[in-house]
Chain A
Amino acid sequence: MEWLVSACFGVMIACGVYLVLRARTFPVILGLTLMGYAVNLFLFLTGRLTTNLPDIISGNQTRYADPLPQALVLTAIVIGFAMIAFVVVLSLRALGELDTDHVDGQQEKPPS
């Protein structure tokens, strides 16, 4: 299972980086979202991949699912959501003010 999850993480990051480098606000936002998802998955994995373990420490169990990554990932999701919401609004405003969806605020010059 490890290789499958690692591959998912890697593919998501790669797609995210590719989209961010597109330099148009819509792909960039999609890319940032994908990177955010990938990082959330990664944080979740820091508790190790395990199955069938209790989520609460009990007397007769020696091993249990690590609760902390779940708390961390929840925080990261909330913060990431707020950031993406902000950058969507900012992009809309930039589109209105600058009349282009390029992140530099000006159209690239066509190749001569």
Chain B
Amino acid sequence: MINHLIVGPLLLPLLVGTVIVLNTNQPIARLRILGLSSCLAVLVMAGILLFQSAQGPIQSYVLGDWPTPFGIVMVLDRLSAMMLFITALLALLCLAYAARGTDRQGKNFHALFQFQLLGINGAFLTGDIFNLFVFFEIMLLSSYGLVLHGGGNRRTRAGMHYVMLNLVGSSIFLVGVGILYSLLGTLNMADLAVRMSQAPAENAALLQAAGLILFAVFALKAALLPLCFWLPDAYGFTSAPVAALFAVMTKVGVYVILRVYCLIFSEFAGVGANLLSAWLLPAALITLAAGTAGVAGSRDLRRITAYLVIVSVGTLLAVIGTFQREAIAAAIVYLPHTTLMTAGMFLVADLIQRQRPDAGSGLTPDRPVGQPTLLGLLFLAAAVAIAGLPPLSGFFAKVMMLMTVKDNAGAPWIWGMVLGGGLLTLMALGRAGSVIFWKLLPGDDPETGPENTRDSGPVYALADLFPAAALLAISPLLVLFGGMITEFAFAAADHVINPVHYIEAVLGPDRSLPLLYPSGGE
């Protein structure tokens, strides 16, 4: 029985996006309803798929019913189902935030948003490495439009770097895929894993080169250190709902690294075995250090949040870089938390920025924001969650990550970096909060100053605050259902770390035997 629901999260945004492109001159209220209902439907589908994947085995969906190694497959395992769900949730809330005004700044916002969703969902679902390239390109092309949405010099400048770097990245991706195909004769990721394990030793150098070329591309997507300098400008200058949605785009890079290097270059992969174990952990730790330095050194709340994205990627990949089952499970617990909280911080920063007409999100004294209590509470919740302080989910996820890596040889480094990074993040956010909410310009006290009659930005209604508040409210929920989520994460890590499940789900039973018995014959 084929589960047609798997392609739903791809087809629906594609259809809705096309309809919106053809109707951009309609009143914006209609486009909003269309976009929001599409996001809601994708969320429902992703929820059902998440539930199904938690119960059952890995499912594969063969497009056009072509025989498996030849046709393109979509694969739904627990990790990809979870990523779909996070993306759908985030997209719905970001679009709800954008529908309060951001989407008026350009004509094609809603169409681009749907295509962006298509690209991200496709990258999570596909089981074919060339198809992954295609979905990357769909995702990037829409993101180019979204980064530039609203216009302005700073966005154009940041957009130039972002676009050109990613174009070079796409070329490099194709070279890596080309080498893999010419030596292994397949593009299906499960089939690649089987054939990699049987590859002769004389091809070892080329295959390893292909694997590391691909890693360079994925590292660019995930923003690992030498390739992360585009991120603070691109995320810091674009509009807030777009930046919040992009919090999940770097996680696409993390997901693909996890998927490709646990499947094609797994411990069973013969000449390509454990390709990344020497590289990923150091690269991630340096990224974490650089991101933390950026957080501590920025003088602007939006840029601090952009650097927090780099910190989050560094933390995740450092833990994943140990390639242990428990550590990957802990990273899977941390992933939804860090994605959604960073996105929430982007929205809170924008809410603050709009009520500070002079200083914006910069950390310089200004007149008080219009609704200091509400915004202060939102900022406090976001900061506590991101810095990893006890009542909220960041604390538990970080403790789990640190406990699971404690036997690894790199544990002292991971512990030091994660804890030191957490401390510096806490100090940077504390400083940002005290400058924004307490370090006010003299004479601005409502009782004494005459300036309080000046325009201090819009006053927010509940609908303006709801998306940011909802994102932050997920943090206590992650704690409340922590047991369930941890159980799910361990089950998901089982499927990720052991390529046998994936291969048998895609190619059929017994096809993974060459991996387990590499000498063949017996």
Contact = CB atoms under 8 A, between A and B. Distances in A.
A96 B137 CA distance: 27
Nearest to A33: B167
Interface string A61-104: 00000001100100110011011001100110110011000011
B168 A32 contact: yes
A84 B207 CA distance: 30
Contact of B160 (A35, A75, A91): A91
Contacts of A48: 182
B74 to A, nearest CB: 18
B100 interface: no
Contacts of B410: none
Contacts of B153: 97-98, 105
A79 B137 contact: yes
Given A83-B137, A90-B148, A98 B167 contact: no
B157 A35 contact: no
B319 to A, nearest CB: 34
B163 A86 contact: yes
Interface string B398-416: 0000000000000000000
B167 A94 contact: no
B216 interface: no
A17 B183 CA distance: 26
A47 B174 CA distance: 14
B156 A75 contact: no
B174 A104 contact: no
A39 B175 contact: yes
A46 interface: yes
A98 B187 CA distance: 43
A42 interface: yes
Interface of B: 130, 134, 137, 141, 144, 148, 151, 153, 156-157, 159-161, 163-164, 167-168, 170-171, 174-175, 177-179, 181-182, 187
B137 A103 contact: no
B167 A68 contact: no
B90 to A, nearest CB: 25
B122 to A, nearest CB: 14
B157 A39 contact: no
A15 interface: no
Interface of A: 20, 25, 28, 32, 35-36, 38-39, 42-43, 45-48, 68-69, 72, 75-76, 79-80, 82-83, 86-87, 90-91, 93-94, 97-98, 103-105
A83 B141 contact: yes
Given A39-B174, A39-B175, A72-B130, A90 B156 contact: yes
A35 to B, nearest CB: 5
Nearest to A20: B168
A105 B160 contact: yes
Contacts of A97: 151, 153, 156
Given A94-B160, A105-B156, A83 B174 contact: no
Contacts of B163: 86-87, 90
A90 B144 contact: yes
B188 to A, nearest CB: 11
A47 B178 CA distance: 9
Given A43-B178, A94-B156, A97-B151, 7 more contacts: A20-B164, A25-B160, A32-B171, A46-B181, A79-B170, A87-B167, A93-B156
Contacts of B157: 94, 98, 104-105
Nearest to B157: A105
A20 B153 CA distance: 22
Contacts of A86: 141, 144, 163
B170 A83 contact: yes
19 contacts: A25-B160, A32-B168, A42-B178, A46-B179, A68-B187, A72-B177, A72-B178, A79-B137, A83-B141, A87-B163, A90-B144, A90-B159, A93-B156, A94-B156, A94-B157, A98-B156, A103-B160, A104-B157, A105-B156
B160 to A, nearest CB: 5
A68 B148 CA distance: 36
B183 to A, nearest CB: 9
Contact of B181 (A38, A69, A76, A80): A69
Contacts of B161: 103-104
Given A72-B130, A86-B163, A42 B174 contact: yes
A13 B1 CA distance: 48
A99 B178 CA distance: 40
A28 B167 CA distance: 11
Nearest to A25: B160
Contact of B164 (A32, A69, A79, A105): A32
A94 B178 CA distance: 34
3 closest A-B pairs by beta carbon, nearest first, are A105-B157, A46-B182, A46-B178
Candidate in B156, B168, B170, B174 with the most chain A CB atoms within 10 angstroms: B174
A102 B309 CA distance: 28
Nearest to A91: B160
Contacts of A68: 181, 187
A39 B179 CA distance: 11
Contacts of B168: 20, 32, 35
Contacts of A87: 163-164, 167
B227 to A, nearest CB: 15
Contacts of A69: 178, 181
A94 B147 CA distance: 14
Nearest to A41: B178
Given A39-B174, A43-B174, A90-B144, A79 B134 contact: yes
